[in-house]
Amino acid sequence: MKESERKIYFDHAATTPLDEGVLEKMLPYFTARFGNADSLHSFGREAMRAVDEARDSLAALVGARPEEIYFTSGGTESDNWAVLGAARAQAKKGRPRVVISAVEHHAVLSAGERLERAGVPVVWLPVNGEGRVELTALREALSPEVGLVAVMAANNETGAVQPFRECAALAHENGSLFFADGVQAAPYMPVDVGDWGADLISLSAHKFYGPKGAGALYIRRGVKAEGLISGGEQERGLRGGTLNVPAIVGLAAAYEKNVRDMQKNNAQILAVRETFERELFARLPDAKRNGGGECLPGILNVSFKGVDNAAFLSVMDLHGVALSAGSACAAASVKPSHVLLAMGLTEEEANSSVRFSFGRNNTEEEAVRGAELAAKAAERLRGAD
Ligand code: PLP
């Protein structure tokens, strides 16, 4: 296949391919070592040994105790559990209010909306033009009734790193719990529960070359978050359901590799993004980067004035470049991103925005070719008006 025909994947914030070494570690747990981890016989004990090892490994890498790690079906479940479970437990202690940043992923946002529909007072924290929560706004939102504050570590659409450590400190001064969605940050920033200061942290394996449908929730010892899935006594009675042993093994193996190779990967990804940015903006000087300040190396959000992002995505797809708008897609239309609107962009600007997200396998050649194709597509679509 000619170089120019090779597909380019710039959608790593949506998902990453499963690492082959990780797959190898998972495979035996689908077949030969298929036991139910809760069975008492040797098949079960073998499966539970793998789960224990995965829990120990993940806990050690994030500076937690093994009993503070709960395995889930992914980032969405972990986010739902953190928000709904902690809010419900805190309400019982006379702290029913919840503070949530306006730029959270839908998994957190919709959990907050669900609380609101149940009559829980939710304060939506605004962000500045860079997409960052301002500490003054959080200070104003805090009161003795606030039980939980949720601010993600880094945003999935713009890559903006939030001042989550400072937010955790403010929440704690107020006697509130603090939850950080770490799903998008984890591929690039080491999770350290002491350093992060959060009481609850969510993770998702498929963002760091692990399997889809595998996640974890860290719940600090002594913190109460009511379980959402009732059933057996799995996960210390808080999350029923037969353990997905291959997924758990895969999550831990992928996280281990992620931490080991993080510096190298970050440097490579940043170099590719910078090349892409330089090439794109040289060809299209009026393209505008959304966000700024401290950002994850792999995410770049750009507005192309006068260009419909849905059309742009399909033209790019035709040229073999996979991207997303970074917002919820309804069948034929792309809704304006709540993140970009919260940053002060107009609907039109939001609807002309695209997210490029880079990964460890992207090359400089792809950065140059991808930028060239993006510039051409934007110019063509603009001319089509
Ligand atoms: N939180 C953030 C910040 C995300 O980016 C995502 C996925 O895009 C999720 C949560 C949901 O994770 P999952 O896809 O594992 O359900």
Question: Taking CA 299 as the corner, what is the angle to CA 296 and CA 304, rounded to the nearest 5 degrees?
Answer: 140
Question: How would DSSP label each residue in 7-21?
Answer: -EE-BTTT--PPPHH
Quote the pTM value: 0.97
* pLDDT of amino acid 326: 77
The first and second tokens of residue 147, run together, are 């039980």
Model confidence band, residue 329 (pLDDT cutoffs 50, 70, 90) = very low
Q: Is 181 in the pocket of ligand 1 (CB under 6 A)?
A: yes
* pLDDT of amino acid 330: 40
Contact 55, 62 (CB under 8 A): no
Q: Is 152 in the pocket of ligand 1 (CB under 6 A)?
A: yes
Q: Is 107 in the pocket of ligand 1 (CB under 6 A)?
A: yes
Percent of the chain with pLDDT over 90: 95
Q: Is 183 in the pocket of ligand 1 (CB under 6 A)?
A: yes
The first and second tokens of residue 288, run together, are 């505008």
Average pLDDT over residues 273-280: 98
* Average pLDDT value for the chain: 95
Q: Which atom of ligand 1 is nearest to the CA of 213?
A: 15
Q: Is 125 in the pocket of ligand 1 (CB under 6 A)?
A: no
In this predicted model, what pLDDT tens digit does every residue of 102-158 receive, in sequence order? 999 999 999 999 999 999 999 999 999 999 999 999 999 999 999 999 999 999 999
295 catalytically annotated: no
Model confidence band, residue 180 (pLDDT cutoffs 50, 70, 90) = very high
Residues, the chain: 385
Question: Taking CA 297 as the corner, what is the angle to CA 318 and CA 374, rounded to the nearest 5 degrees?
Answer: 25
Q: How far is the CA of 204 from the centre of ligand 1 (A)?
A: 7
Q: Which residue ranges make up each domain of the chain?
A: 3-17+261-384, 20-257
Model confidence band, residue 5 (pLDDT cutoffs 50, 70, 90) = low
Q: Is 59 in the pocket of ligand 1 (CB under 6 A)?
A: no
pLDDT tops 70 at residue 2:
no
CA gyration radius, the chain:
21
CATH class in words for 20-257: alpha beta
Which of left, alpha, beta for 160 (phi over 0: left; psi -120 to 50: alpha)? beta
Q: How far is the CA of 73 from the centre of ligand 1 (A)?
A: 11
Place of tokens 């080491």: 190
Lowest mean pLDDT among 83-92, 149-158, 161-170, 285-294: 285-294
* pLDDT of amino acid 147: 98
* pLDDT of amino acid 331: 38
Q: How far is the CA of 158 from the centre of ligand 1 (A)?
A: 14
Determine how many CB atoms are found less than 10 A away from the CB of residue 240: 14
State CA 217 to chain mean position distance.
Answer: 13
Q: Which atom of ligand 1 is nearest to the CA of 154?
A: 3
Catalytic residue among 32, 118, 328, 329: 329
Q: Which atom of ligand 1 is nearest to the CA of 14?
A: 8
CATH 3.30.56.10 fits domain 3-17+261-384: no
* pLDDT of amino acid 3: 56
Q: How far is the CA of 116 from the centre of ligand 1 (A)?
A: 21
Contact 218, 186 (CB under 8 A): no
356 strand-pairing partners: 300
